[in-house]
Amino acid sequence: MALDQSFVGRSYPPTDPYEVGREKIREFAEAVRDANPAYVDPEAAKALGHSDVIAPPTFVFAITFKAAGQVIEDPQLGLDYSRVVHGDQKFAYTRPVRAGDRLTVTSTIEAIKSLAGNDILDIRGEVHDEAGEHVVTAYTKLVSRAAEGA
Amino acid sequence: MTTTIQYADVEIGTELPAQAFPVTRATLVQYAGASGDFNPIHWNEKFAVEVGLPDVIAHGMFTMAEAIRVVTDWVGDPAAVVEYGVRFTKPVIVPNDDKGATIEVSGKIAAKLDDGRVRVDLVATSAGQKVLGMSRAVVQLA
């Protein structure tokens, strides 16, 4: 069933702050086998002009996707998550995420489209730090595949 | 942002050093834990087959994380990446053996933008199939 177009533009309340830890960044960098010292060594990060270790570019997805759960699980929207695949992902950074950040995410439904029975949902997640400054925006396109025989 | 790569030194078509990234079932389990994405299609082949996949597949976000390393390893400071986007076109299929799969990534300068920025277009393949589409990064150079 096609999703309700009237949800386009709807924003959800900002999430509680996520505190970015050095060891969580290290764990992520190790998991993607990325040995860049800026992710694990505060001195190396400082040599590049950062106040603490920074996170790899895609690290923030874990935070924005959890926030997008407000949209995905919104019973009024009625998305069938069991049929959802990740279509596109994009990030636009004002600055890198770094250890010590306390980040909140505000999710907004940017677009809802229906294409060949598939529902396509675009979610924008604006990430701000504790001072209210913009850090990064995540654009997530989810595709809910048409049910078989539909 | 601190990089030694000079805007003036790159041209449209300049190639970044290509890389190959191995991925096994163990890699996916580790990535699941680090990212919090425990979807069983990334570690349980019985489940993956039941939902119509040929086998366990890598997290799309894992592939996205590997592909940008061609840029961050080249530029040095990961903060030079000011924009990064991909389309997930085909899954990376990861068999349950000691070899797993390989993600091959190449990149080249596609456009020189204003303010010392360039657009890098990335190509990521696995088993001869293109796994990312529209894979682009905007990178701040010195």
A69: CATH: 3.10.129.10
The mean pLDDT of chain B is 96
Residue A79 structural domain: 9-21+59-144
pLDDT in tens, B90-109: 999 999 998 999 999 999 99
Average pLDDT over residues B4-24: 96
In-domain check, residue A36: no
Cα–Cα distance, B39 to A133 (Å, whole number):
33
Q: What is the per-residue pLDDT for A14?
A: 98
Which element (helix H / strand E) includes A139?
strand A134-144
Interface confidence, given as ipTM, is: 0.96
Considering its fold, how many domains does chain A have in total? 1
Do B35 and A61 lie within an 8 Å CB cutoff? yes
Model confidence at A1, in pLDDT bands (50, 70, 90)?
low
Cα angle: A111, vertex A120, A55; to 5 degrees = 80
Q: Is the pLDDT of residue A130 over 60?
A: yes
Residue A90 lies in a domain: yes
Residue A54 covered by a domain: no
Mean pLDDT, to the nearest integer, of B43-54? 94
* Interface contact flag, B21 A33, Cβ < 8 Å: yes
What residues in B contact A91, CB-CB < 8 Å?
A: 83-85
Average pLDDT of the residues in A70-91: 92
* pLDDT interval class at A91 (50, 70, 90): very high
Residues 6+ apart with CB under 8 A from B82: A92, A93, B117, B138, B139, B140
| Interface membership of A50 toward B (CB under 8 Å) | yes
Identify whether A51 is part of a domain.
Answer: no
Closest C-alpha to A60, from B128, B68, B127: B68
Q: Compare CB distances from A93 to B27, B76, B82 and report the shortest one's residue.
A: B82
- The residue of chain B with its CA nearest to that of A88 is B87
Of residues A84 and A124, the one with the higher pLDDT is A124
Averaged pLDDT, A8-37: 98
Evaluate whether residue A140 is within a structural domain.
Answer: yes
For B117-132, what is the mean pLDDT?
A: 98
Give the pLDDT confidence score for residue A149 in this predicted structure: 53
Q: Do A56 and B30 touch (CB under 8 A)?
A: no
**What percent of chain B has a predicted confidence (pLDDT) above 70?**
100
Indicate the residue of B35, B69, B134 with minimum beta-carbon distance to A28: B35
Is A40 part of any domain?
Answer: no
- Whether A105 is in a domain gets the answer yes
| A34 located within any domain | no
pLDDT at residue A150 in the model:
45
In order of their start, the domains of chain B are 7-22+58-140 (3.10.129.10)
Option in A48, A61, A88 nearest B85 (CB): A88
- What pLDDT score does A148 carry? 65
Angle formed at CA B108 by CA B103 and CA B112, multiple of 5 degrees: 145
pLDDT at B80 over 50: yes
- Please list every residue in chain A whose beta carbon sits closer than 8 Å to the beta carbon of residue B2: 47-49
